[in-house]
Structure 1
Amino acid sequence: MTTEPCSPAVLLGRLRECDRLLPRPGTIRSPTLPTVPWAEFCDPAGPWLARCVEEWQERGEFRHRRAGIVLVAFRFGWLACCATVPEYHLGAPLPALDDLRVAITTEGRLSGLRPTGELDESSPQLWWDQLRRAFEPLAEGLHALGGPAPESPEYWGNPVGSIGTVLWRLQRSGLPGDAIATARELRAATGRERLLDIAPERDPWPRRTTCCQWWRKPGSGYCEECVLWNSPNRRPSSAVTR
């Protein structure tokens, strides 16, 4: 945590601002959507994971089969960081991901996360242990569906890279705390530091070193912190938002 302690009321107000800025459990609440246990979602033999891959393939009009697979890892990594990084940065209790449930749309899209509890302690390593244990079965399930090996940076670059994106957005919105210091703390805890480049003099200061694959959609652009920032095909106006 790099934010000075504050009253519970102030902390609640800051978390509500995070809810406004990011797709978080408190803002993606659709009671009509089914929720399933995370382990069930990650089962490659079950109905959810393969359909989620196909939904990305259809939405992106991808010819490249791996794009939809990697984008499922991107979606979960992004939602998981949105649901947990602000809490660590601001000094709130960390959501527990052990009994996580997820909301699924009728099209098969992973719509939102539903943590069911909080941790009693907070540290970068506890944060990463939670996220890592949730991410491992997803990577294994995606591999079973024809994706890269479970330890591939194509998967793990998504939760690690999203650390920087979440904190950059919090900093840009004016929320307190040293966002870059928090990003460095959490990045170090992952043991995969090379997947997130941090340069304070750059805007945006975080940059992924792997690709989410969305640029493959015909007519699409690039994330603001995309590893393809200097691609000869990239245009200054082509940045996309999540």
Structure 2
Amino acid sequence: MTTTTAGSTPPATTHLAATARGLTRTYGRGDAAVHALRGVDLDLPASRFTAIMGPSGSGKSTLMHCLAGLDQPSAGTVTVAGRPLHGLDDDQLTLFRREHLGFVFQAFNLLPMLTAGQNVLLPLELAGRRVDRDRYERLTATLGLADRLGHRPGELSGGQQQRVAIARALITNPAVVFADEPTGNLDSEASAEVLGLLRTSVRELGQTVVMVTHELAAAAYADDVVVLADGAVRAHLVDPTADTLVATLRGDR
């Protein structure tokens, strides 16, 4: 286990999926201002599974939204897949997200009138891109969906629906998959299954996954854990043990 200080680059990093420098996000003004992020410096390595943790109000979801181009920072810069996001207008950000990012949310966000297979392929259809059948078949097989592709979401369990959502996020071969509390609506067995699949996408498919979670059990699946407190990075842990993670979350380190 290695602990790095706020803003430092984890050891053995050869390629970064995303970086933030001086990232600040303030909502409101004057006495009503809420400082969600306070000058965050962060390097996220490619082809690794990073969990972002912290207590409620620590800024973890705001950080993910700024990294993913879903929210505009008040100050600072974000670079994802080598592309600086500052200066991009809404249309350019939408196009960038469609071409380079994948998303998995707590709500599965599947279209109920489409089959599982059609939901997986939807990002390609919207982008007018050709379907790579080999990738589609490998993804759906790896995620255990091969015999469920003709079913509609209402015919699938929660865990199966989240598998479809993961396959949909991966089908475009994105530079980064952002997952926001992806197991929040699942029981413990389905949660473990989904987290294992996200880890498999990193190990076997070379995917980069950045996940916001408040659950220690979920963070245990990650290679790296970024711990936030009061809008700042308290620690960036590389391959942490459970004891180290618990101590960091308690503020012992």
Which interval holds the TM-score relative to the shorter structure?
Answer: 0.3 to 0.5
**Higher relative contact order, chain-length normalized (CA < 8 Å, sep 6+):** 2
Larger Rg: 2
Give me the TM-score of the superposition, normalised by structure 1. 0.32
Q: Greater helix share, 1 or 2? A: 1
Q: Greater strand share, 1 or 2? A: 2
Give me the TM-score of the superposition, normalised by structure 2. 0.31
